[in-house]
Amino acid sequence: MSTECLFCRIAAKEVPAQMVYEDDQVCAFKDISPQAPVHLLVIPKQHIESLNLLTEQDRDIMGVVMERVAHLARQFKIHESGYRTIINTNQDGGQVVFHLHVHILGGRAIGPMVARSS
Ligand code: AMP
Ligand code: ZN
């Protein structure tokens, strides 16, 4: 756990969040600034800064994270209508919180896959 990291602190219950799932390896909570009717963040509890820092040792945990994504989509009843999953990495990817997380966005048509460049 990194004491500097917001999502580590959420996982450790030091910062409140609307937790929707938790076990010893992963947790999921509502995004504080939802961009869709359903906007969840799924994280490994262990601190992994970004996809760039993923190693062979993290294969199992990422499998657990993605299985949880699928489960939450069913739980929030967006699995049939559809949803988008996003992992932002570094500046051009729009990453703001440097603890690996998967966004789940659904409950409406999410629109174009990427913003038009200006
Ligand atoms: P990213 O741009 O992929 O790093 O996304 C970070 C996400 O974390 C954004 O969608 C924020 O709205 C969300 N966020 C920031 N602080 C909190 C918080 N305290 N609780 C829940 N979500 C948060
Ligand atoms: Zn962290």
Structural domains present in the chain: 6-106 (3.30.428.10)
Spatial neighbors of 15 by CB under 8 A, at least 6 apart, are: 6, 9
What pLDDT score does 115 carry?
Answer: 83
Average pLDDT over every residue of 26-37: 98
Summarize the confidence of residues 22-41 as an average pLDDT: 98
Buried b (16+ CB within 10 A) or exposed e, 1-18: eeeebbbbbbbeeeeebe
When pLDDT is averaged across residues 40-67 and rounded to a whole number, the result is 97
Task: Give the Cα separation of 10 and 45 in Å (integer).
Answer: 9
Question: H-type helices in the chain, by residue range?
Answer: 6-11, 59-75, 90-93
Name the band, by pLDDT with cuts 50, 70 and 90, for residue 35: very high
Query: What's the whole-number mean pLDDT along residues 16-26?
Result: 98
Average pLDDT, the chain: 96
Measured CA to CA, the distance from residue 20 to residue 30 in angstroms comes to 7
87 CA: nearest ligand 1 atom: 3
71 in active site: no
Which pLDDT score is estimated for 1?
Answer: 72
Nearest C-alpha neighbor of 48 from the set 101, 111, 108: 101
Indicate if the pLDDT at residue 118 is higher than 70. Answer: no
Residue 100 CA to ligand 2 center (angstroms) comes to 8
> In degrees rounded to 5, what are phi and psi of residue 34?
-65, 135
Query: 44 C-alpha to center of ligand 2: Å?
Result: 9
Identify the pLDDT of residue 2.
Answer: 76
